[in-house]
């Protein structure tokens, strides 16, 4: 599966996205990152993602919903919304263009979603997700928290394409 993460321009590393990307790559999937200020239509045309994923804070939801709906007018992809806002407000699933909401920690759940999608298996019962299929909404339970030692290190490669991160005077481990 190919996943395109979309985020607002950043001044610090988007750590949540970096962890999700690392987990997805460790499971054999391809990931890329774009900022909303980038030419997203070109990025989608070139990368051809199966899933476009957004990580949002409260206050950003309208921006990302509008962006998602705009992109879906000309591109086909599954949209996944995660992060703090969808975790606390899973009713975001009721908005047009939102296919899946990830609640809580997403590293294991997101990889399970990618693996099942890749094999065309049923995703309706996946834990940590609220899923809308054919207008029907299914909110599933939460999985136990992962052992943090089992998670891969954040994917720094995904952010090093951006000079504001790559050229930071402070380097990260």
Kindly report, residue by residue over 55-107, the tens digit of the pLDDT: 999 999 999 999 999 999 999 999 999 999 999 999 999 999 999 999 999 89
- Which strand (E) or helix (H) includes residue 3? strand 2-7
Query: The pTM is what?
Result: 0.91
CB-based contact 33:21 (threshold 8 Å):
yes
| pLDDT tens per residue, range 38-56 | 999 999 999 999 999 999 9
What's the rounded Cα separation, in Å, for the pair 118 and 167? 36
Give the tokens for residue 108: 């294991």
CATH number for the domain whose boundaries are 2-166? 3.40.50.2300
Residue 152 confidence class, pLDDT cut points 50, 70, 90 = confident
Better pLDDT: 74 or 161? 74
Residue 167 confidence class, pLDDT cut points 50, 70, 90 = low
- What are the angstrom distances between the C-alpha of 75 and each of 33, 68, 97, 98? 17, 10, 12, 14
> What pLDDT score does 13 carry?
84
Residue 163 confidence class, pLDDT cut points 50, 70, 90 = confident
User: Which residues are 4's β-sheet partners?
Assistant: 32, 52
Residues in the chain: 173
């Amino acid at each position: 599966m190919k996943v395109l993460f979309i985020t607002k321009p950043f001044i610090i590393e988007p750590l949540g996205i970096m962890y999700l990307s690392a987990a997805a790559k460790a499971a054999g999937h391809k990931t890329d990152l774009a900022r909303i200020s980038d030419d997203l239509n070109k990025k989608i045309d070139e990368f051809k993602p199966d899933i476009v994923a957004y990580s949002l804070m409260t206050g950003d939801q309208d921006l990302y919903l509008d962006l998602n709906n705009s992109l879906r007018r000309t591109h086909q992809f599954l949209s996944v919304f995660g992060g703090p806002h969808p975790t606390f407000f899973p009713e975001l699933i009721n908005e047009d263009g939102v296919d899946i909401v990830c609640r809580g920690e997403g590293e294991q759940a997101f990889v399970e979603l990618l693996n099942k999608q890749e094999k065309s298996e049923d995703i309706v019962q996946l834990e940590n997700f609220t899923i809308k299929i054919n207008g029907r909404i299914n909110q599933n339970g939460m999985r136990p928290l992962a052992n943090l030692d089992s998670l891969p290190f954040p994917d720094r490669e995904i952010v090093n394409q951006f000079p504001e991160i790559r050229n930071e005077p402070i380097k990260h481990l």
